[in-house]
Amino acid sequence: MSESVSAFVCPQEDEALCPLSGGSADVQAGGRVRTERARGTRAALKPIVVLQHRAGCAPSSIIELLEGDDRPWEIRRLWLGEPVPESPDEASAVVVLGGPMSVHDVVDHSFLLGEKAFLSSALAADLPMLGICLGAQLLAEVAGGRVYRRDEEEIGLVRIDLVADDPLFAGVESPFMAFESHSYSFTLPPGGVPLASRPDGLQAFRFGSAWGLQFHPEVDADRARQWVEEQLRCNREDAPLESEVAAAVRAKTAALLPMYQQLCRRLIGNWLELVA
């Protein structure tokens, strides 16, 4: 790995850093995925639209909660050429997922241009949105913030501090641990409200009815373990880890995952209540 990587799942981190007060979705291949669970008066609701940028960046735990909800939802797989909504009026809310590209990679990923135009109009219409990782960076950029390459990648479980009260984080204590996987960060757009941060950058913000999260509340247990194993392999290539350290990292991940899954469900559940 050419860039240095910030510390992850540090064996000295306190297990209590995922406090709460008080499986991956099976996405079918071929064509636009559309699942509707509308019942009763909800049948006339517009769908929650999920914008997905790559097959390996699935909605995971978000879909698990949507499947237990009675609102319609659908996934637009942008890398396959599926379109973003033509206007904000087509959706009741939008989730913008992460991806391996950056907001600047419009030549190699031309769908980003149309996505940015849609997100700009959605912000102007005050459409409820949740941006995750790349999705948060896209929201920050179209709202007037700056997306920049980090000096160090941020991968794995890291400690995050809340810096403001917001209903999205209701029931979440500060600090908390969350999964990261990114090499770009964003600045606060003008008019935005910072919600969470680390010493080296912003982690969450709100802009009107849109929230941006640099970390990954959609990650499930399998994806979290995969990220950690990938990072351990990178460390072995750059600077071999002692076997005891690697074992401690795996043990710490196993200890934190159940609490982190609760945190993910709390955050996504809070958002779904806010956009109901």
The torsion angles phi and psi of 16, rounded to 5 degrees, stand at -80, 5
Helices (H), 18-155: 61-67, 111-124, 134-142
Element holding 52 (H helix, E strand): strand 48-52
The torsion angles phi and psi of 165, rounded to 5 degrees, stand at -80, 135
* Catalytic pick among 13, 18, 53, 133: 133
How far, in whole angstroms, is CA 171 from its chain's centroid? Answer: 19
The C-alpha atoms of residue 217 and residue 165 are separated, in whole angstroms, by 18
Nearest to 93 by CA among 140, 131, 64: 131
The torsion angles phi and psi of 95, rounded to 5 degrees, stand at -110, 130
* Catalytic pick among 13, 74, 180, 218: 218
57 is catalytic: no
The C-alpha atoms of residue 266 and residue 257 are separated, in whole angstroms, by 14
182 is catalytic: no
216 is catalytic: yes
For the chain, the maximum distance between any two Cα atoms, rounded to a whole number of angstroms, is: 59
The torsion angles phi and psi of 269, rounded to 5 degrees, stand at -60, -40
* Catalytic pick among 53, 109, 182, 216: 216
Residues annotated as catalytic are: 133, 216, 218
